[in-house]
Amino acid sequence: MVRGAQAFQYARRFKIYLATQPVDIRTGIDGLVNSVSGNFDLAPFSGGFVVFRFK
């Protein structure tokens, strides 16, 4: 995991990833997928939840 990202695990069922840096929502779903791939080093369908903070 890289700078600007944190992960929490709840009840060993799933992980919640928290983006600590704001994300530009205008990039659309493709931009959010790129953020997940780049910042969290995850596949988009890895089974975790990602919480974004928008500008």
Model confidence pLDDT, tens digit, residues 12-44? 677 788 888 888 889 898 988 888 888 888 887
> What's the pLDDT score for residue 9?
59
52: buried, middle or exposed (CB in 10 Å: 19+, 13-18, 0-12)?
A: middle
Confidence of residue 4 (pLDDT cuts 50, 70, 90): low
> What's the pLDDT score for residue 1?
47
